[in-house]
Structure 1
């Protein structure tokens, strides 16, 4: 049975709405009083204020949304629950900078201020690249190839929650994201329409719709919007927030606690709101490597074009892209990596969302080896057989397996005294933590974790971005 796609449309300029008073903006309260969220305050607290009460008109709420809902918003007395779902890595498995870049380059891409024109999360063409674009009359290849280039990125469990929530007449269903409204509205509407979503409100980060205030952070923006909702839907007794970033989840819980404490202190008859903040396992999918490189080249070219229009004294050096050898290693085949990780089935206890899997190589040397050393190793592409001999870990931070070459008289050269494969580690932990592993469990033939495998002498290439920091005008001396 086919799925009926909702017809989303852009809400035009804000001039079509009239706002007779600013007292209802970013406030929640009851019977002529309310709480005003002050984004500029250092404490981020909610304080009591005097107000004539929220307007019955839905215009102040709709002004936040980029999509005109198919049906009128539910009346305030009908809504008992508000469901708020984050977009990136919660509802949608957005692309992130992959490991084809070295560490500092990933930092440059994630920084919104390092490149003129913005970084990874301020570049609409990156999100556009995740949408399959069929071309009439052009053979786009097999289904397998199309899935590789434009994979399904919707996070199934959260999709199910969003669809079930929409069926309840007492629940307001909201998509809330820190993506920039001006840059990403068109792409967001295309994505939602292609998947048949029909949220009551689709809210992207913007200046305050009525006050024109520029929000400094995504959390500041989201809390102000939630305040507006709670002020309008005063019978709400529960709000569910689905969020992938642990830091944001903590801030939402603190926000809810403060809201309820203030309600109790001021003896309002508005019901205590239950804040359910659901921590979602972050889910992302990388772009195809060639597409990713294309997008980053576009970002660097945009930066360089904008730099050319700057005063000579303020113009940063051009951003450049290089290839460099990250390390020379005995490289494991992807199937070997998968088998190795499945045999150990690592389950971090303390930081499950901050651990990356590896198991891809046995390091020989950081950077490039001299030709004579490569020759002693048997030449680039030489294959060596290894077997697992022991397993160790340290403090839920790093996990590794020691290996040895198979065969009489076979010698290898590695960075560590004993050839070692790092299986996984926390994202902020360096490989030097291997030295902290003091206990190693023996692995012998017959052990379920025992494995013999081949590895190939090779170089791990990484792409590197050179983009000197932009010096703000205020810091330049005359």
Structure 2
């Protein structure tokens, strides 16, 4: 722990504060304060762009956002908020959370209220706040800073916090409970904020990330030649207030150890091999989610989701069917018909998981079906009532992007999952509840699509293809490296599962479970790679269940 300074601590000269309203220097003004409103900036007050999932390999995104990689990492890089001259000239219209902004402006006019913004980037689009500070680590730093606010301005008796991250909201509830017990506050409230994602211009994002990679690789060389190690963040939180000395609030600067940095080089990385759909078929599927179905489709939500408001759920940009993760091996590609093969997919059931995700169960369609009511969705979005009609309407043109055409003479693909799982298409999911589209693989109870006099069997035309995104090539290890970094965070899987089960998880318990999971992974020869995320998740959930039974 750092040595206590003899000088009096004050928020006014805190090294991480980048903006301070002059009224906070007046004892007369601060004596009137009785309420503090605390706004997170990224994805709460402002739609700070996230790394675009259409551009980057998932495992690389994890490293990109880490404060130990790519310079200071995505969230500490002020360039991620440089959205171009058009956005700036419009005062970032469309990027602000307008609903919360109106509340923010109203609150900021009250003389008895202190308004604080928490952000990661040193270049902040500060509105009418009293304080704005840069946090190095997320919750621990917020927690520590708010403690100081309460001691600095004891007249504050009420606090409201706006944040978007479920895990942090739970921790704020715990912190607020302690503040109430200690009589530091009379009331405390946390408000969860859910807003849609936005991404920066793809060209601008590519240039930004390439610059981040260059900075990272330059740092690898500096450290290899005996130069100073990079310590990310704006400034350490000085532990100078006596009241906080024994609270054991974590300061990352006190626990920092040199990282095993490796050089990074980007290249195309296979995400999955599966059945890809054209824009026309995608539009048909999205119409199902939005309740704008073509007559005869008759697909309803699963019973558990009927009547629920899912308007803020995430709809995948690219609906598909995963047959195997990564690039398919030659024997498997031969089994499913090879890249470029056309495949007919029938929608047979709907399913959901814990009220957080909606998916369609699919199966391979029988091309010999005749005399039944069929709704065959062609790549161009046209609807056909028979395979004969579909074939006769297609010219056999094989041009265009993968999945954009149908050639009746092309070899046929198969709907076969390499892991023998249920093939599915994710329609929508509630990312605000910490779930992702791949969670549909865990659905075990499916409800058959209801058959009525007017409903038809729905068949989609797709193409066997492979999706590649930019990610890390085989890394060249730096002087500190011993083994490649793990691609899957076991700790994050356990924390997410604990949050879903509403079971608090402590550091020692987390460490013990991680060790057990790693031991079992070694026994099963399961490498910590993104391709094995489903197996690792299953092991983590089983270990968690055993640990807390």
**TM class by smaller structure:** 0.5 to 0.7
| TM superposition score normalised by structure 1 | 0.65
**Match for residue 203 of structure 1 among 133, 136, 139:** 133
Counterparts of 1:62-461 in structure 2, within 5 Å, are 65-67=17-19, 69=21, 75-99=29-53, 100-115=55-70, 117-129=71-83, 132=86, 152-177=94-119, 179=120, 184-185=121-122, 187-188=123-124, 191-192=125-126, 197-205=127-135, 217-263=137-183, 272-281=185-194, 283-311=196-224, 317-332=262-277, 333=279, 334-343=282-291, 357-358=315-316, 360-366=319-325, 367-368=327-328, 377=337, 380=340, 386-396=345-355, 399-403=358-362, 404-405=364-365, 407-408=367-368, 412-416=413-417, 420-424=424-428, 434=441, 437-444=444-451, 453-461=460-468
Q: Is the 8 A contact 1:260 1:273 kept in 2?
A: yes
Q: Give the corresponding residue for 1:29.
A: none
Say if 1:82 and 1:240, in contact at 8 Å, map to a contact too: yes
3-state DSSP class of the match of 2:56? coil
Q: Distance in 1 between matches of 2:454 and 2:290?
A: 14
Q: Contact 1:282–1:353 (CA<8 Å) still a contact in 2?
A: no
- With over 3 angstroms needed to count, the CA separation of the structure-2 counterparts of 1:60 and 1:124, relative to structure 1, is closer
Aligned pair in 2 of structure 1 residues 376, 68: CA closer, same or farther (>3 Å)? Answer: closer
Give the Å deviation of 1:461. 1.7
SS at match of 1:82: strand
Asked whether the 8 Å contact 1:398–1:434 carries over to 2, the reply is no
User: How big is each residue's C-alpha offset from its partner over 1:278-319, in whole Å with a ceiling of 9 and x where there is no partner?
Assistant: 122254312233332222211111112222333369996531
TM-score of the two chains, using structure 2 as the length reference = 0.57
Unaligned runs of 5+ in 1: 1-19, 27-58, 136-145, 207-216, 264-269
> 2: CA distance between counterparts of 1:436 and 1:345?
14
* Alpha-carbon separation, structure 2, partners of 1:360 and 1:133: 30
Secondary structure of 2:467's aligned partner: strand
Q: RMSD of the alignment, in Å?
A: 4.4
8 Å Cα contact 1:281-1:353 kept in structure 2: no
**Cα deviation, residue 202, structure 1:** 1.8
Cα distance change on mapping 1:22 and 1:287 into 2, 3 Å: same
CA distance, structure 2, for counterparts of residue 449 and residue 469 of structure 1: 57
C-alpha separation in 2, matches of 1:221 and 1:87: 14
Distance 1:303 1:354, change over 3 A: farther
Q: Distance in 1 between matches of 2:357 and 2:56?
A: 22
Q: Which has the higher strand share?
A: 1
SS in 2 for 1:239: strand
CA contact (8 A) 1:303 1:319 kept: yes
Shift of residue 255 of structure 1? 2.1
Q: Does the Cα contact within 8 Å between 2:34 and 2:156 map onto a contact in 1?
A: yes
Cα deviation code 1:437-478 (max 9, x no counterpart): 144323436678975544344331222214467665999xxx
Q: Judge conservation of contact 2:217–2:264 (CA < 8 Å) in 1.
A: yes
Aligned to 2:80, what secondary structure does the other structure show?
helix
**Residues 323 and 416 of structure 2 are in contact (CA less than 8 Å); yes or no, is this contact kept in structure 1?**
yes
Kindly indicate whether the alpha-carbon contact (under 8 Å) linking 1:443 and 1:449 is maintained by their aligned counterparts in 2: no
SS in 1 for 2:290: helix
Superposed, which structure 2 residues align to 1:25-44 within 5 Å?
Answer: 25=10
**Matched-pair contact (CA < 8 Å) for 1:90–1:283:** no
Contact 1:322–1:465 (8 Å) recurs in 2: yes
Shift of 1:243: 1.1
Q: C-alpha separation between the residues in 2 aligned to 1:353 and 1:244?
A: 17
C-alpha deviation, 1:171, in angstroms: 1.3
Residues 412-458 of structure 1 show CA distances to partners (whole Å, capped at 9, x for unaligned) of 41234775323356766795864751443234366789755443443
Residues 45-78 of structure 1 show CA distances to partners (whole Å, capped at 9, x for unaligned) of: xxxxxxxxxxxxxx458x7642353766671332
Query: CA separation of 1:436/1:243 partners in 2, compared to 1, >3 Å: closer, same or farther?
Result: closer
- How far apart are 1:406 and its partner, in Å? 7.1
Q: Using a 3 Å threshold, how does the CA distance of structure 1 residues 423 and 157 change in structure 2: closer, same or farther?
A: same
Shift of 1:220: 3.3
Gaps of 5+ in 2: 228-259, 292-299, 370-386, 388-411, 484-549
**Does the CA contact (< 8 Å) of 1:97 and 1:286 recur in 2?**
yes
